């Protein structure tokens, strides 16, 4: 005699209906979770969780549960698909906050947010897991392979299809008929290069911050090769001494930074000093004037940053 199971929390929901059906199958067969585990390859804990009504089990577990109770090809698949759609709608509400309502048709898609909303709706209607989507694409070698993680990011609005080939793989994974792919491809071409509405505007304050960041790079004899984003983001830069390309964080310069990968002279980098600078030091890159100028040389610019430097006589 197995222990008494807790009641289903929401028996009227789609997930609760699936759990109630599985419990009915088990009661009809007169089996316990341990006995069901002997008949399937799943543990008793997995089977108990499947009929608990708290989380959605996989389709394989549901079908194995039903078959072990002697009810092959029953209602389990239909109930699971209904629960999967309900879970998908809940995930879509979380991912598309601020975009409620019915997803637009491909010919009515106006921006990237609409496109992401429509793709999430495709997965909701398909009722397939990300693993099943990955297997569907693997069966079509002419398509770009689509991993489960990539499909999950695209269909929850964390990413956008980067190419037309990737969009076709997503459509096939969601069981979209090929005769309608043309509408989706035209919608993707219309919006994939359009700026995202959530992209921050380039304000004067942000331009000033970018100029200050480039000046900071110049102190280390580096130059930017892409727009500045933030002090903690990886930034593609070029060494002005050897031309090497690499990525750094602006906040990490001068704090344990190992310098250029080609090991350019370390005296070109700004030393991590504290306190007031010496009078004979470049006010910008802090390179000692005695290393660049003779004591009797006229006023000239620092060879590193071109800042006027005049050594102070003793």
pLDDT in tens, 166-217: 999 999 999 899 898 999 999 998 887 655 444 445 577 777 788 888 888 8
Amino acid 170: pLDDT: 92
Please determine, for residue 288, whether its predicted confidence score (pLDDT) is greater than 60.
no
Q: How large a percentage of the chain has pLDDT more than 70? A: 73
**Whole-number pLDDT of residue 222:** 85
CA nearest to 134, candidates 117, 150, 119: 150
Q: Which of 235, 261, 239, 259 lies closest to 248 in space, CA to CA?
A: 235
Number of H helices, E strands in the chain: 11, 5
In whole angstroms, what is the distance from residue 248 CA to residue 269 CA?
14
Q: From CA 150, how far away is CA 173, in angstroms rounded?
A: 12
pTM of the predicted protein model: 0.38
In terms of Cα–Cα distance, which of 138, 140, 124, 139 is closest to 174? 124
Which residues touch 6 (CB under 8 Å, ≥6 apart)? Answer: 52
Q: For the ranges 3-12, 17-26, 50-59, 267-276, which has the lowest average pLDDT? A: 267-276
**pLDDT at res. 292:** 41
Average the pLDDT over 5-12 and give the result.
80
Taking only the tens place, the pLDDT of each residue in 135-161 is 899 988 888 888 888 888 888 878 888
A 10 A CB-CB count for 66 gives: 23
pLDDT in tens, 249-282: 877 776 667 777 777 765 444 443 333 333 444 5
Is the pLDDT score of 230 beyond 60?
Answer: yes
What are the tokens at 42? 């799943």
Q: What angle do CA 252, 256, 258 make, to 5 degrees?
A: 95
Residue ranges of E strands in the chain = 222-224, 234-239, 245-249, 300-301, 308-309
> Per-residue pLDDT tens for 99-109?
445 677 888 88
Could you tell me the sign of the dihedral formed by the alpha carbons of 183, 185, 189, 191, in that order? positive
């Amino acid at each position: 005699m197995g222990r008494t199971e807790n009641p289903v929390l929401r028996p009227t929901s789609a997930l609760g209906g699936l759990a109630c059906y599985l419990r009915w199958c088990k009661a009809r067969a007169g089996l316990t979770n341990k006995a069901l585990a002997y008949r399937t390859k799943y543990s008793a804990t997995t089977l108990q969780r499947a009929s608990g009504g708290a989380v959605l089990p996989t389709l394989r577990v549901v079908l194995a549960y039903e078959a072990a109770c002697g009810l092959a090809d029953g209602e389990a698949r239909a109930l699971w698909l209904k629960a999967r759609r309900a879970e998908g709608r809940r995930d879509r509400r979380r991912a598309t906050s601020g975009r409620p309502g019915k997803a637009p048709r491909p010919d009515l898609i106006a921006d990237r947010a609409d496109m992401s909303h429509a793709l999430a709706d495709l997965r909701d209607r398909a009722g397939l897991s990300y693993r099943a989507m990955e297997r569907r694409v693997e069966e079509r070698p002419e398509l770009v392979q689509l991993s489960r993680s990539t499909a999950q990011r695209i269909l929850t609005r964390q990413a956008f299809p980067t190419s037309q080939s990737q969009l076709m793989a997503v459509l096939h994974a969601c069981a979209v008929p090929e005769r309608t792919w043309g509408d989706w491809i035209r919608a993707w071409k219309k919006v994939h290069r359009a700026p995202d509405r959530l992209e921050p505007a380039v304000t004067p304050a942000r331009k000033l911050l970018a100029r200050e960041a480039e000046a900071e790079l110049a102190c280390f004899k580096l130059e930017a090769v892409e727009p500045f984003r933030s002090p903690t983001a990886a930034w593609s830069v070029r060494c002005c001494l050897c031309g090497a390309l690499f990525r750094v964080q602006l906040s990490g310069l001068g704090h344990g930074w190992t310098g250029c990968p080609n090991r350019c002279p370390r005296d070109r980098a700004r030393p991590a000093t504290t306190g007031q600078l010496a009078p004979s030091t470049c006010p910008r890159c802090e390179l000692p004037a005695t290393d660049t100028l003779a004591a009797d040389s006229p006023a000239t610019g620092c060879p590193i940053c071109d800042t006027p430097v005049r050594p102070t006589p003793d």
